[in-house]
Structure 1
Amino acid sequence: MFLDNKNIILLSTGSFNPPTNMHLRMFEIARDHLNRLGLTICGGLISPTHDSYKKKDLAPSLHRCAMIEQALVALPWVKMSDWEVKQNGWTRTRQVLQYHQNHLNMIITSRLNGAIKVDTSLFPVQFIENLNANDSNQNRAVNVRLLCGADLLESFAVPGLWNDEDIEAIVRDYGLVVVSRSGSNPHKFIYESNVLTKYMANIIVVTEWITNEISSTKVRRALSRNESVKFLISELVESYIKEHGLYETLNNKYSNNDILDVNLKTIFLSPSPSNKTFKTDQMDDKKLNIDEPDNLPCTEKRVINCEKTKVRNVAEGKENFTRVAIQVSESGIIEVISDMETMV
């Protein structure tokens, strides 16, 4: 079935552990691309996964939902849906799409006849306000599409991870908007899948030309090491994480910089410009003043100092060196006479 509906709500599922700026940017990239295709983006939804989803370091849904709310302050046309986390257990993506599509249809129907009262809190305020303000919008159908990265698309091929019927239903009934990352080739993957090729008209691939490799995994790793995550996640999200001690930010066994040996630190840390001396291997750990001329290597200085000492000793008679005298006669003959009374 070809989805010819031009009114779309983008829905993104996942753990959002924590939500990153890349999660938000996917919505912006997709909206720009779909608008250029003549489609109308009515809003966006983020549906975090249930706590029973088996994933390492998964923060409780209470915190993940709160972080998503904080992140979406900067993206008001997208709303966080907590329906999935309120279920009794993990819910398949197909069911998440189905619930939100059915609920959306009920809202539109209720606006049409005015008889059914439906909770609208799951959807962006902007979308609901548009429905209320414009009578022509009340009769329009809106399609919920799954917004995802190329990694989710490629996961369809992992044996036992997805139900084949679910894959076909998702692509056939809802469609995909795939934001590709650097190094991925979603078109090739679609070609190699019979199901995806069958419904490829329902798959829109959006290329992110500004490469961005931000991931929740890397953010958690940085947080656990007490490293900066500025510009990777929202400042509100970062404040929430530190306030509640998520991802080992309060009890951090990797943040003690004293475990680094002093000599090891010099490998990673650049010297301060205010320092006047540097240690060099060639000088046997002696100091070399950086203000001295650069055209005179330290090895040459040693030779010069040594030769000065020898000349001084010779002049004072402390060295047993042969002394010579040079005489030039009127006829131009050069004679060299040594103190050893030898004619050269």
Structure 2
Amino acid sequence: MAAMDTDLELSLDNYEFPDARLRRRIQDPDRTPLVLIACGSFSPITFLHLRMFEMAADYARFNTQFEVVGAYFSCVGDAYKKTGLVKAEHRVNMCNLAVQQSSWISVDPWEALHQEYLETAKVLDHFNKEINEVIGGIETPNGKKKAHIALLAGADLIQTMSTPGVWAAKDIDYILRNFGAFIVERTGTDIDEALSALQSWKDNIWVIQQLVQNDISSTKIRLFRRRDMSIRYLVPELVVQYIEEHNLYDEDGVANISKESGRADRMPGESGGVTSSQDGKRPSNAGSSRSIE
């Protein structure tokens, strides 16, 4: 497979929705097409991020009436002020490299191309519009059917949703009522406790057990880089090469990016890839916690 051109200049002016890997037809008329959306920082993307899609696809096939027809990474833009967040162009490039050999996972740069911060609900609305309105849905033996757009996230997202003051109530209701969420269990998160506060939307929350425990995180990858330790076999090899080529996440690289973007260490901290009340919530964007680091 030819290497992807990671230097391609993208902007909202020349943006086109990436639909080449979106399956346009399902054979079982009783199933509902499903498109999974992972919103997050991906700084950098790891094997766990990729594995989450495979786990969700298996879960949907064996436990629901959904049939997965596509999946997308959506990187948060530069306006999201978070420790360890390198430029959006780097994160989009790394995601593209990571999915290069996938036949069904894509990267949509639309969110990352915006100068302003976009809430998760707006991102999900974007996918719903592109797939169900512009494309017109997915073909079935009985005609076209709307695809169900769903958020894919780690259990820490549900934990923040159940924490008072982190998310706006209207945003939680909008996301879980209209889209729902496939949640992958993560070590250290009490999923039952988190779900207890979200019973109104229990039918739209699907919890996926990790049969093979994996606690790789972007935070750990950045820590290894700062300590000059190997990150091979924790992230895809092409991503390792990209990080090394661009000197990302080492002390000098992080300092240069922070200085260039005018950010300092007073940015909200991290807790499993989401902004929590302990980390310093965003007062002007209640409900803006990201789902995946």
Q: Tell which has more relative contact order, 1 or 2 (C-alpha 8 A, sep 6+).
A: 2
Contact kept? 2:78, 2:87, Cα under 8 Å: yes
Corresponding residue of 2:134: 107
**Aligned: 1:169 with 2:174:** yes
Amino acid aligned to 1:58: L
Contact kept? 1:48, 1:84, Cα under 8 Å: yes
Distance 1:149 1:252, change over 3 A: closer
> % of aligned pairs identical?
33
What is the Cα deviation at residue 250 of structure 1? 6.5
Distance 1:108 1:43, change over 3 A: same
Corresponding residue of 2:72: 45
Amino acid aligned to 1:47: S
Please give the per-residue CA displacement for 1:4-34, whole angstroms capped at 9, x wherever unaligned: 9721100000100000000000000110111
Contact kept? 2:181, 2:204, Cα under 8 Å: yes
Amino acid aligned to 2:124: L
CA RMSD of aligned residues (A): 2.2
Distance in 2 of aligned mates of 1:183 and 1:248: 27
Count of paired positions: 225
Report SS of the residue matched to 2:81: coil
Query: Where in structure 2 are the equivalents of 1:46-195 lying within 5 Å?
Result: 46-109=73-136, 136=141, 139-191=144-196, 193=197
Which residue of the other structure, out of 220, 238, 241, is the alignment partner of 1:239? 241
* Structure 1 runs (4+) greater than 6 angstroms displaced: 249-253
Please give the per-residue CA displacement for 1:175-202, whole angstroms capped at 9, x wherever unaligned: 11000012323233212x1xx2011011
Report SS of the residue matched to 2:112: helix
Distance in 1 of aligned mates of 2:206 and 2:86: 32
Contact kept? 2:35, 2:70, Cα under 8 Å: yes
Please give the per-residue CA displacement for 1:62-100, whole angstroms capped at 9, x wherever unaligned: 100000000011323111111111223110001111111
Amino acid aligned to 2:187: S
Contact kept? 2:176, 2:205, Cα under 8 Å: yes
Please give the per-residue CA displacement for 1:143-164, whole angstroms capped at 9, x wherever unaligned: 1100000001111134432111
Q: Where is the helix percentage greater, Structure 1 or Structure 2?
A: 1
Contact kept? 2:162, 2:194, Cα under 8 Å: no
Contact kept? 1:9, 1:41, Cα under 8 Å: yes
Report SS of the residue matched to 1:139: strand
Distance in 2 of aligned mates of 1:137 and 1:81: 29
Distance 1:5 1:203, change over 3 A: farther
Distance in 2 of aligned mates of 1:135 and 1:154: 37
| TM-score scaled by length of structure 2 | 0.72
**Aligned: 1:200 with 2:227:** no
Report SS of the residue matched to 2:249: helix
Distance in 2 of aligned mates of 1:61 and 1:138: 39
Which residue of the other structure, out of 15, 29, 34, is the alignment partner of 2:55? 29
Contact kept? 2:47, 2:235, Cα under 8 Å: yes
Corresponding residue of 2:211: 209
Contact kept? 2:84, 2:254, Cα under 8 Å: no
Unaligned runs of 5+ in 1: 112-130, 254-344
What is the Cα deviation at residue 138 of structure 1? 5.4
